[in-house]
Amino acid sequence: MSHKIYRISISMAILLFFLVLSMLFLTIGIKVNNNKIILHSYTATKNADYQVLLKENNFYEDQVLASGKNYASKSIDKYLLNFEYDFQSDKIKSINYRYNITAQLMGTVSNNNEQEKEIWTKNYILIEDKENKITQNEFKVKENVDINYDTYNNLAREYENNYDISITSKLKVRFNIYYDIEYENKYIDKGEDYIELDIALTNSVSNVENNYEEVTKKENYATNKNYIYYVISGITATIAVVLIIIYKNKRTPEEVYKSKIKNILKSYSELIVTVSNEPNVENYTVMKINSLEDIIDLAEQNKINIIHYESIKDKQNRFYVFVDKFVYIYQVSI
């Protein structure tokens, strides 16, 4: 194996090594990013139910009706609401939580079948803040509240009559909860959640709609160190690119020599004549020229050709210009 082939083989092997290394670290980085590690998580299960307490009447056998139905508005005395909140987590050091129950009387209007727009609201606090702190992984909160239907329904009707506006009214009763969680590794997570029931008002028929997600989940992931793999991948890729540039620009003396001769012959093909026999210079005074530009200028000024002869195969080339009794020689060799 020649020195040139050996050098190329070694260079390509090194280049391939860095390219493979770059791809390896890139793949690891992507894999680490996809395999997220859950540090903390919690799940909150929520439920709201109600019963309807009726006024004295001759139509219903039971004074209390179950949830999930439509009810004659004039028959309703109270809505008996029940909220349950079940919170579960892991690796908890402590939880500070507080909750309350609020209500919002809301009136909306719609024009030309457009989406309803809020026109009036009135806010109430039904149960003031209650606070607690635990050192367990879970807690449960149950709270009941009674809604006097006529109180809110009559106020909504009064608004309609007072301003002569037909509105769609509802009472939005909301269980609100706020908590600060301290995990075992001192990570602090602040959160809030709610359960909401919407009670229809001012219609001949009333019903209740759930307006909440039954389960809330949250997961906190470890900060993946995948960026370090991307950095290493980038560095190795850069090294590979640098090696390509160096390999491209770094040539052996033989390569430099051959490239130089090739460029000279190509650039001055109309001026240079290549011969296979060495020119006879015995009757001439020999003058050595150190610059290619000088011998080119000399030939052009005298309007004569440059004689090219390869004096030593792949090692030495000479360029001759004969002027009167002088011969000017420019030599290129390794």
C-alpha distances (whole Å) from 259 to each of 50, 317, 319, 333, 334 are 93, 12, 16, 12, 12
Distance CA 238, CA 55 (A): 82
Q: Are 107 and 47 in contact (CB under 8 A)?
A: no
Q: Please check the confidence at residue 283 and state whether its pLDDT lies above 70.
A: yes
- Going by the DSSP 8-state scheme, the letter that residue 73 receives in this structure is G
Token pair, residue 38, equals 């859950």
Question: What's the pLDDT band for 1 if we cut at 50, 70, 90?
Answer: very low
- Ordered alpha helix ranges (H), 119-275: 149-163, 226-249, 253-267
Token pair, residue 180, equals 């600060």
25 or 71, greater pLDDT: 71
What pairs with residue 123 in β-bridges?
104
Token pair, residue 144, equals 């009941």
113 or 153, greater pLDDT: 153
Q: How many helices (H) and strands (E) would you count in the chain? A: 5, 17
Q: From 141, 53, 157, select the one nearest 97 (Cα to Cα).
A: 141
Buried b (16+ CB within 10 A) or exposed e, 234-263: eebbebbeebeeeeeeeeeeeeebeeebee
Confidence (pLDDT) at 226: 58
Strand order in the sheet with 306-312: 272-274, 306-312, 316-323, 326-333, 285-289
Distance CA 119, CA 168 (A): 10
Token pair, residue 155, equals 């106020």
Confidence (pLDDT) at 284: 95
Contacts of 8 (CB under 8 A, 6+ apart): none
Confidence (pLDDT) at 4: 53
* Least reliable range by pLDDT among 11-15, 107-111, 139-143, 327-331: 11-15
Average pLDDT for the chain: 87
Question: What's the pLDDT band for 7 if we cut at 50, 70, 90?
Answer: low
Q: Please check the confidence at residue 151 and state whether its pLDDT lies above 80.
A: yes
Distance CA 235, CA 229 (A): 10
Residue recorded with tokens 């609201």:
121
Q: Please check the confidence at residue 150 and state whether its pLDDT lies above 90.
A: yes
Confidence (pLDDT) at 175: 98
Q: From 181, 215, 180, 179, select the one nearest 195 (Cα to Cα).
A: 215
* Least reliable range by pLDDT among 65-69, 182-186, 306-310: 182-186
pLDDT digits (tens, 9 = 90+) for 73-129: 999 999 999 999 999 988 788 999 999 999 999 999 987 767 788 999 999 999 999
Confidence (pLDDT) at 98: 96
C-alpha distances (whole Å) from 187 to each of 44, 62, 178, 329 are 19, 52, 17, 84
Token pair, residue 288, equals 């050595």
Q: Please check the confidence at residue 8 and state whether its pLDDT lies above 70.
A: no
pLDDT digits (tens, 9 = 90+) for 172-216: 999 999 999 888 877 788 889 999 999 999 999 999 999 999 999
Distance CA 192, CA 99 (A): 9
Confidence (pLDDT) at 96: 94
pLDDT digits (tens, 9 = 90+) for 31-60: 655 555 556 788 999 999 999 999 999 999
Q: From 305, 331, 296, 334, select the one nearest 317 (Cα to Cα).
A: 331
235 or 168, greater pLDDT: 168
pLDDT digits (tens, 9 = 90+) for 233-281: 677 777 767 766 666 566 678 888 898 999 999 999 999 999 999 999 9
pTM: 0.58
Q: From 143, 146, 142, 167, select the one nearest 156 (Cα to Cα).
A: 167
Q: From 178, 162, 160, select the one nearest 98 (Cα to Cα).
A: 178
Confidence (pLDDT) at 92: 82
CB atoms within 10 A of CB 34: 9
Q: Please check the confidence at residue 306 and state whether its pLDDT lies above 80.
A: yes
